[in-house]
Amino acid sequence: MSAIVLRGVHAFDPSSGVDEIIDVVVEQGKITRAGRDAGRELAATPSEKVRIILGLSEQGNQRWLFPGFVDLHAHLREPGNEAKEDIKSGLAAAAAGGYVDVCVMPNTRPVNDSTIITEWMVHKGKAANSARLHPICAITTGQNGEALTEMALLKEAGAIAASDDGKCVTRSDVMRRALEYGKTFDLPIIQHAEDHALTQGAEMHEGAISARLGLRGWPRIAEDIIVARDVLLAEYTDSRYHVAHLSTLGAARIVREAKSRGIKVTCEVTPHHLTMTHELLIGYDTACKVNPPLREAEDLEALLLALADGTIDAIATDHAPHTASDKEGPIADAAMGMIGLELCLPMLLGLVSSGKLPLARVITALSSAPAKIVGLAAPRIREGAAADLTLVDRAEEWIVTPSQLRSKSHNTPLLNQTVRGRVKATLRDGIFIHDELEGRRP
Ligand code: DOR
Ligand code: ZN
């Protein structure tokens, strides 16, 4: 195919100031034309080499075109836990969720703390010919919180950031050295903020509901203490610091204050912390067990406000696939995490339609903001840009069933529920990495 013509789509790209119904023409991996009727001539000369995609669905829904999404935080489980997910299935799930770039956490088996694993992941990612995979290397060897990894070499091998996600870098001296070391070659340090001494055996958020259910609590303060300490370290070392899956009102307040004082801190929030609370645990549903845990309504409100005012920069999925057997049994024994790559956009569009978040903030937080944090080129809808694009039917409803999901795992509280908003196609460098237009089977 030599050209793709998206005809009469509602293009929406806050960083390019685009919010209108236009044609977008893609040739040789790039957006060559964008504007009103810019694709009319090409569309009028039928040719096998031109694929025309209409701005209206068969149901008459207006299709929206967004810059491709960038996920800062996904667990693809390969190497070592391919029953949960592998790089190929994980990237397919990402493409189906509208993502063109996926940053992949290092808590694999073995841990990604070596150039061999980083290079191997890059290779596997390329071979999948789907969304681009960017490894995040560990901060400490084996994620054991003690000796720093060879981050400079890992960056050369393809690592885009460093994190011990799943575990906190608890020791202040280690965190200080990580920030100082990462700063010398501009590698972002991403913290999983959890004072483990305060969360031993935790099953859910500590509050009235954990007390009522008799489940062990994960107090907010365990997150807040680490974020506060790290912000001080980032200030002291004049370095860049990023908080993964920020979940408490207190941590949002600390980041807001730190930003106002010019400290180089950024953070992300997950779609589940923006839409779900600890009340979901009342049914002891292990699908709702996640780390950090689902919090209270006041946290959720504070996170929405923080995202709206720019305190929170990015939305990241923390896609954490687990098999059905990992999630069986009592809450205490269940693995932590939920899948997110294919559900993030519908979850967020729900917040947009209920007026809780402006669409522009959502798209910025899914695309240009995360790209900037890890130094990737931000996908843009404008002439000359790489064709990294996500086509969405915002009105289409679908039921979250295993057969609809590309991920190998189905651990989500949304299983069997109806959601609204569907990614119809994803283009990476002008190539369809997801395509369910024209009756193509998802
Ligand atoms: O819920 C979670 N699951 N949180 C984490 O930090 C790690 C993740 C996983 O790897 O399953
Ligand atoms: Zn994670």
pLDDT tens per residue across span 302-356: 999 999 999 999 999 999 999 999 999 999 999 999 999 999 999 999 999 999 9
Question: To the nearest whole percent, how much of the chain has pLDDT over 90?
Answer: 97
What is the position in ligand 1's atom list of the atom closest to the CA of 107?
10
CA dihedral (357, 253, 271, 203) positive or negative: negative
Residue 48: band (very low, low, confident or very high) from pLDDT cuts 50, 70, 90: confident
Q: What are phi and psi of 2, to 5 degrees?
A: -100, -15
Please report the pLDDT score of residue 182 as a whole number: 98
Question: Distance, CA 187 to ligand 1 centroid (Å)?
Answer: 22
Q: Is residue 164's pLDDT more than 80?
A: yes
| 232 assigned to some structural domain | yes
Question: Distance, CA 378 to ligand 2 centroid (Å)?
Answer: 23
**Site to substitute for ligand 1 among 196, 270, 281, 318, most atoms within 8 A of C-beta:** 318
Residue among 285, 388, 300 nearest 31 (CA): 388
| 275 assigned to some structural domain | yes
CA dihedral (251, 101, 434, 41) positive or negative: positive
Q: Is residue 36's pLDDT more than 70?
A: yes
Query: Which residue carries 């209270």 as its tokens?
Result: 296
CA distance 86 to 78: 5
Residue 441: band (very low, low, confident or very high) from pLDDT cuts 50, 70, 90: low
| 259 assigned to some structural domain | yes
| 409 assigned to some structural domain | no
Domain of residue 193: give its range: 67-374
- Structurally, the chain folds into a number of domains equal to 1
Q: Is residue 4's pLDDT more than 90?
A: yes
| 181 assigned to some structural domain | yes
Q: Is residue 442's pLDDT more than 90?
A: no
Residue of minimum CA distance from atom 6 in ligand 1: 166
Residue of minimum CA distance from atom 5 in ligand 1: 166
Residue of minimum CA distance from atom 4 in ligand 1: 291
CA distance 207 to 228: 21
| 41 assigned to some structural domain | no
Please report the pLDDT score of residue 58 as a whole number: 93
pLDDT tens per residue across span 53-75: 999 999 999 999 999 999 999 99
Tokens of 28: 């040789």
Residue 170: band (very low, low, confident or very high) from pLDDT cuts 50, 70, 90: very high
What is the position in ligand 1's atom list of the atom closest to the CA of 245?
6
Please report the pLDDT score of residue 169 as a whole number: 98
On the 0-12 / 13-18 / 19+ scale of CB atoms within 10 A, 170 is middle
CATH of the domain at 332: 3.20.20.140
CA distance 297 to 209: 12
Residue of minimum CA distance from atom 9 in ligand 1: 320
CA distance 154 to 101: 19
What is the position in ligand 1's atom list of the atom closest to the CA of 192?
6
| 432 assigned to some structural domain | no
pLDDT tens per residue across span 238-295: 999 999 999 999 999 999 999 999 999 999 999 999 999 999 999 999 999 999 999 9
Structure pTM? Answer: 0.98
Residue of minimum CA distance from atom 3 in ligand 1: 337
Using CB distances shorter than 6 Å, the residues near ligand 1 are 75, 107, 165-166, 192, 290-291, 320, 336-337
Residue 140: band (very low, low, confident or very high) from pLDDT cuts 50, 70, 90: very high
Residue 202 contacts residue 289 (beta carbons within 8 Å)? no
Torsion of CA 307, 309, 313, 314, to 10 degrees: 30
Question: Distance, CA 19 to ligand 2 centroid (Å)?
Answer: 33
Question: Distance, CA 232 to ligand 2 centroid (Å)?
Answer: 23
Whether 318 is catalytic is: yes
Tell me the Cα Rg of the chain: 21
Q: Which of 113, 299, 318, 435 is catalytic?
A: 318
| 387 assigned to some structural domain | no
Residue ranges near ligand 2 (ion) with Cβ within 5 Å: 165, 318
Residue of minimum CA distance from atom 7 in ligand 1: 166
Residue among 151, 133, 147 nearest 187 (CA): 151
Question: Distance, CA 297 to ligand 2 centroid (Å)?
Answer: 22
Q: Is residue 384's pLDDT more than 70?
A: yes
- The ligand that comes nearest to the alpha carbon of residue 190 is 2
Question: Distance, CA 59 to ligand 1 centroid (Å)?
Answer: 39
Residue among 284, 276, 294, 298 nearest 334 (CA): 284
- The ligand that comes nearest to the alpha carbon of residue 292 is 1
